[in-house]
Structure 1
Amino acid sequence: MAFSEGLEVVRFQGPWMITAWWPEGAVSGGPQKLVVEACPEAPAGEVARGISTTVLRRLDLVDVVRRAQEVAPTTPPWRAEESRLSELAALAGELLGAEGVSERYLAVLCLTYRDLVDKGVQAPVPWLAERVGRKADSVKDHLKKARREGLLGSRAGRAGGELSERARSVLGEVPGLPGEVGAGSG
């Protein structure tokens, strides 16, 4: 099976071919697509009953990720945007210093956090904390406050979230905002 540009790792389990896919750039976690299909030369009798849970359980996903990391570029894809993300974080720090934990500060913080998570940054809160000039626990508390106040939605069991319409509206009032706000990818 052919995917769009990116990295594929293929493993075989009996008559099944399992293809794992990552987008271009450094591999920072599991695949974004996983396809299980019969090998072209597999005997029809072995694939007639379909894919079993045993096939999926036997897939060594840790090994698949390790192999992908071995062949993937080592520069994380978000590095190309690091300058913009640093500018956003610096703006958040300026707003925090000037206004305290204001709605504008929280909106810029949420935008930066969302973009860091969407780009695959492994530790976005410590990265933000360093650039905003606060402790990581404080930044976490600020993000929780932003969620409570409806500026940042959540993703079940995952970091990141979507900016609300209210957050986008607030960001429209922030002078010197680098880059586009956009909808994000998550």
Structure 2
Amino acid sequence: MTNTNDHEGSAAPRAGVEQVQHIGAWKVTMWLPLDSTSGNPREIRIEPHEEADPQEVARGITSTVLRQIDTAAFAAEVRPLVDLAHAGQQVVENFRRELAGLPKGVSDEYLAVLSALYVRFVNLGRRAPAQDLELWTGAKQATLKGHLRAARQRGFLTKVEGKAGGQLTDKAVEILKGTSVSNVRLP
């Protein structure tokens, strides 16, 4: 089982839980998006197993194979992961609510919080911190990149040439102490 998947031929990876079962000559892949409210698979893909006997594959998928697909085991196994994803989504929603409570516009408070979140993602080794910021703030990446530029210009975030990174400045740390957003659990 994995936390994300990357279906062959799909446009982009989709966040979800995937489980593979081997039933006779068949590989049965069940998938559930992380935003699902149930534990039952949303998609089931059946394809010949790599080591399958060609004669068995030629007979096709039978009702016996379909009856052996254990969706109950899948649901039981993914429930903790779905619950964890929902808890994570609640943290993001709490963060957005606190962010909305800051002074409107590109305020010093907003830039300090955005800088702190950006530094956190960079320190976690995230390859595309702007994508993570988009998820957490709800703002578009292009807008966020402009805001990060403004944060650097206003002295909240140091600059690193040629790559993602930087550190919070003392100015940003002082502003963060006075915001309610600093009390919200970050990733």
Alignment TM class, shorter chain as reference: 0.3 to 0.5
| Structure of larger gyration radius | 2
Q: In proportion to residue count, which structure has more strand?
A: 2
Query: TM-score with structure 1 length normalisation?
Result: 0.46
